[in-house]
Amino acid sequence: MCGIFGIFGHPEASNLAYLGLHALQHRGQESAGIVTSDGERLYAHRSMGLVQDAFSEDVLSKLPGAVGIGHVRYSTAGGSGLRNAQPLAVDYARGSLAVAHNGNLTNADELRERLEARGSIFQSSADTETVVHLIAQSAQRTIEDRVVDALSQVEGAYSMVFLTEDRIIAVRDPRGFRPLCLGTLRSRGGVHVVASEPVSFDLIDAELLRSLEPGEMLVIDKGGVRSSFPFARQEVRECVFEHVYFARPDSPLGGATVYDVRRALGRRLGDEHPVEADVVVPVPDSGVPSAMGFAERLGIPFELGLIRSHYVGRTFIEPSQSIRHFGVTLKLNPVTSVLRGKRVVVVDDSIVRGTTSRKIVKMLRDAGAREVHVRVSSPPTRWPCYYGIDTPTRRELIASSHTTDEIARYLTADSLGYISLDGMIDAVVGARGEGAEARARFCHACFSGEYPVEFRGQPAGRQLRLLGV
């Protein structure tokens, strides 16, 4: 998972990109980067770590110009360091080019092999680099046509922002796997911004104009914003997981905030898996809205029975190495007074490996819970994502090889209930005020195994050939 950002037309482009990336920090903490243009040259800075650590005032002052793009990268297995950090910036025949990518290409290996056979050299193991090669080798004349030419050859998920000396090109793939939206600054006319999520706009006082449509390409330059749909039409497949887990709750994705969607998921979960209990507690922070919806639907008191430390990142994401083995204990603490002697429902947004959930159940029991019922606001996660979510391999996904009963026993839970796939989609569509026809717009491959685009590659193998900076 990653976050991308672009801005055109503001003299402090790098500062605004910095703030925009900051608001997207939840989408990736492994590395951060910004590339700007002053009209003649590109200026790049990429660094491992959080946005606030990667950039200082001094560094930002060395990224001049009124146009810029940025990227935050999610921690991936085996993390390959600065070499794979984005934006990727290169020189080619027509000048310089930088690109920030959110998503994953399913035919990158195939393309790479073809490119390498022609003599291309690669500086990273990122699939994004194939796109840059395709652009450089395109027979088309304008950069817009070259980008279209290149992207017509790739498959999979891509929300991308390109930067040249004088323009930004923003693209959302025809299936619309990953979000991408357009905004404009309130405080200054003629400044356009694009970002993975509209939360990126609040900090810089920009307002959301709209989401890019699947398959849409925006060219932003001195002439303004031009939209086109240059790619072959595909069935839309927005990632449902964005709503359940990834996006910030205040993100209005597709007409409803993620917060609304999560509350709706909680209510539906309550319909599907009711339980008699004394208290509903969420696994904070992402489980809070669905726990509220669940509690509301079943009329059980909602309480914050687990407190999350502000000084450690989220479960899916790296704590500092030296304390990793303390796992969940570092991040969550039980509020004994809420739990002691109670029948507790704990609501989480997903179960991946099951290890964290098991620790939480134990923590609740140690704090005095009489019963612990686990409710999950997404269906069992059984399949890896090939479109940009950094899931573990199938073998590690507990639901890929165990029944719900088996998982409940592993968790030592008194009961376990996942929302159904239909239930989840109903809830999302309902919260967005859409009709039944919208039910087909989602990719839910990680739950259903129904992959909209076939994956053709050996992901791990390629990545390990060249390591380091």
- The set of catalytic residues is 2
Compute φ and ψ for 84, nearest 5 degrees.
Answer: -100, 0
Tell me which long-range contacts 44-52 makes (C-beta under 8 A, separation of at least 24): 44/87, 44/89, 44/98, 46/82, 46/85, 46/86, 46/87, 47/82, 47/85, 48/81, 48/82, 48/85, 50/25, 51/18, 51/21, 51/22, 51/25, 52/22
Of the pair 65, 176, the CB lying nearest its own copies is at 65
CB of 452 to its own copies, least distance (A): 28
CB of 330 to its own copies, least distance (A): 6
- Please state, in angstroms and rounded to a whole number, the distance separating the CA atoms of residues 169 and 171: 7
Per residue, the 3-state secondary structure of 291-308, as one string, reads HHHHHHHHCCCECCCEEE
Q: Of 370-409, which residues contact its own copies (CB under 8 A)?
A: none
What are the residues whose beta carbons fall under 8 Å from the beta carbon of 239, sequence distance 6 or more? 157, 177, 178, 246, 387, 388, 389, 442, 443
CB of 24 to its own copies, least distance (A): 10
| Contact between 184 and its own copies per CB under 8 A | no
| Contact between 299 and its own copies per CB under 8 A | no
- Please state, in angstroms and rounded to a whole number, the distance separating the CA atoms of residues 385 and 104: 9
Tokens for 277? Answer: 């209990």
Of the pair 175, 243, the CB lying nearest its own copies is at 243
Q: Of 334-363, which residues contact its own copies (CB under 8 A)?
A: 334-338
46, 31 Cβ separation under 8 angstroms: yes
CB of 288 to its own copies, least distance (A): 6
CB of 8 to its own copies, least distance (A): 19
Of the pair 325, 395, the CB lying nearest its own copies is at 325
| Contact between 141 and its own copies per CB under 8 A | no
- Please state, in angstroms and rounded to a whole number, the distance separating the CA atoms of residues 187 and 315: 37
- Please state, in angstroms and rounded to a whole number, the distance separating the CA atoms of residues 390 and 431: 26
Number of residues located near its own copies, criterion CB under 8 A: 89
Candidates 242, 303, 414, 426; binder of its own copies (CB under 8 A) is 303
Q: Of 49-78, which residues contact its own copies (CB under 8 A)?
A: 50-52, 56-57, 60, 62-63
Quick one: angle between helices 404-411 and 355-366, nearest 10?
Answer: 50
CB of 137 to its own copies, least distance (A): 3
Burial (CB count <10 Å: 0-12, 13-18, 19+), residue 25: middle
196, 24 Cβ separation under 8 angstroms: yes
Amino acid at 276: E
| Contact between 325 and its own copies per CB under 8 A | no
Tokens for 358? Answer: 């098991």
Q: Of 9-28, which residues contact its own copies (CB under 8 A)?
A: 19, 22-23, 25-26
| Contact between 138 and its own copies per CB under 8 A | yes
- Please state, in angstroms and rounded to a whole number, the distance separating the CA atoms of residues 24 and 73: 10
Of the pair 64, 274, the CB lying nearest its own copies is at 64
Of the pair 98, 424, the CB lying nearest its own copies is at 98
Q: Of 88-117, which residues contact its own copies (CB under 8 A)?
A: 89-93, 95-97, 113, 116-117
User: Interacting stretch for its own copies, rule CB under 8 A, among 134-142, 350-358, 396-404, 405-413?
Assistant: 134-142
CA distance readout (Å), 104 to 20, 108, 242, 253, 386: 22, 8, 15, 20, 6
| Contact between 41 and its own copies per CB under 8 A | yes
User: Interacting stretch for its own copies, rule CB under 8 A, among 103-111, 237-245, 397-405, 460-468?
Assistant: 460-468
| Contact between 140 and its own copies per CB under 8 A | no
Of the pair 183, 452, the CB lying nearest its own copies is at 183
Candidates 79, 274, 313, 392; binder of its own copies (CB under 8 A) is 313
Of the pair 96, 391, the CB lying nearest its own copies is at 96
| Contact between 458 and its own copies per CB under 8 A | no
CB of 378 to its own copies, least distance (A): 19
Site string for its own copies, 226-265 (x = CB under 8 A): ----------------------xxx-x---xx-xx-----
Phi-psi region of 168 (alpha: psi -120 to 50; beta: other; left: phi over 0): beta
